[in-house]
Amino acid sequence: MAVDIAGYNNPSRTMAHLREVHEGLWSVLKGSFAETGVPWDVCFVENTGDGAMILLPPEIAKADLVAQLPERLHAELRRYNAVHSEPARIQLRVALNAGEVQRGGQGAVGKAISATFRVLDAPAAKAAQKATGADLALLASDTFYHDVVAEDPAAAAGDYARIPVSVKETSTVAWLRLLGVPKERPQTPSASVPDFTALVEALMDVQCVRNSDSRRLLLEMFPRREIASQVSYYPQDRLHVIALATTCLRFAGGLRCLLDVVLTIDPHSPEVARLAEVIDRWPEDH
């Protein structure tokens, strides 16, 4: 399990807020585990500064983590946030995965751990939580979702949405469930998880994006080189466009920058107009 406090380094948080949030995180986690019946002292826990890494032993039933823990976490977050001011309130992202892990002299290692943190950092999950204001964004790796979540009716598998994960060298999918969406911002399919597939299709409909030669020119014209330089290359057009989209989502204003370049190349086509409509539905900052 990997845990991250959304917006931990928000400039509105003072040192006093950070200390309170940090203490609140551990209170929420320990209280949730206790109510779920998972002994805290059997877990291996590392403090990551703005979150935590928790390794649970194999005797802990994975089904309990998705059938009981999400609601317990949400309840503890509600209790905490109810008595704290806005800068000290907590929104969490929690990612679940399973796999082989080994303990070393300085901590734990394993590909499953790295994969869990990649899922935790999925730009689509961050964007969805920001767009909806959800208290808790629960993520499951693709394998964990199919092996555990989808197999237990109590895990509310239908409340999860499939999202892309393209972080560093990882390109995969995960499953996202949002809990605690404020009533004034109701959770709907279009609002809770921005439609990444619709974004990709809209990009593929634009000729200067779909065509490999003009897409190369587009990347050369990109004014923000920190974005263009990180787009992984794939010989297949669709995969390269997906890499372009996911990279833009990792940067504040990245999609808007992409649209500006597309408009420079092709300012009048109806396909570009539709792309602009899709991008306008995404949060301004990712």
Identify whether the C-beta of residue 94 lies closer than 8 Å to the C-beta of residue 73. yes
Q: Which long-range contacts (CB under 8 A, 24 or more apart) does 276-281 make?
A: 278/195, 278/198, 278/199, 278/202, 279/199, 279/202, 279/255, 281/190, 281/194, 281/195
10 Å CB burial of residue 207 (0-12, 13-18, 19+) is middle
pTM of the model: 0.68
CATH superfamily ID and name for 2-192: Nucleotide cyclase, GGDEF domain (3.30.70.1230)
> One digit per residue, pLDDT tens: the chain, 286 residues?
999 999 888 888 999 999 999 999 999 999 999 999 999 999 999 998 899 999 998 888 888 888 999 999 999 999 999 999 889 999 999 999 998 888 777 777 789 999 999 999 998 888 888 878 899 999 999 999 999 999 999 999 988 888 888 888 878 889 999 999 886 544 444 344 557 788 889 999 999 999 999 999 999 999 998 899 888 888 888 888 988 988 888 888 889 999 999 999 998 899 999 999 888 877 654 4
- Cα–Cα distance, 157 to 177 (Å, whole number): 9
d(CA 36, CA 70): 9
User: What pLDDT is stored for residue 138 in this prediction?
Assistant: 95
Domain boundaries, the chain: 2-192, 196-280
Give the pLDDT confidence score for residue 184 in this predicted structure: 53
pLDDT recorded at residue 285: 44
Predicted local confidence at residue 144, as pLDDT: 95
How far is residue 86's CA from residue 148's CA, in Å, rounded to a whole number?
Answer: 35
Q: Which residues contact 213 (CB under 8 A, 6 or more apart)?
A: none
CB-count exposure of residue 190 (10 Å: 0-12, 13-18, 19+): exposed
Tokens matching residue 48: 């990551």
Taking the C-alpha atoms of residue 127 and residue 285, their distance in angstroms, rounded to an integer, is 8
Is-contact 4 92, C-beta < 8 A? yes
Question: Which has the closest alpha carbon to 78: 27, 43, 37, 122?
Answer: 27
Joined tokens for residue 37: 């019946």
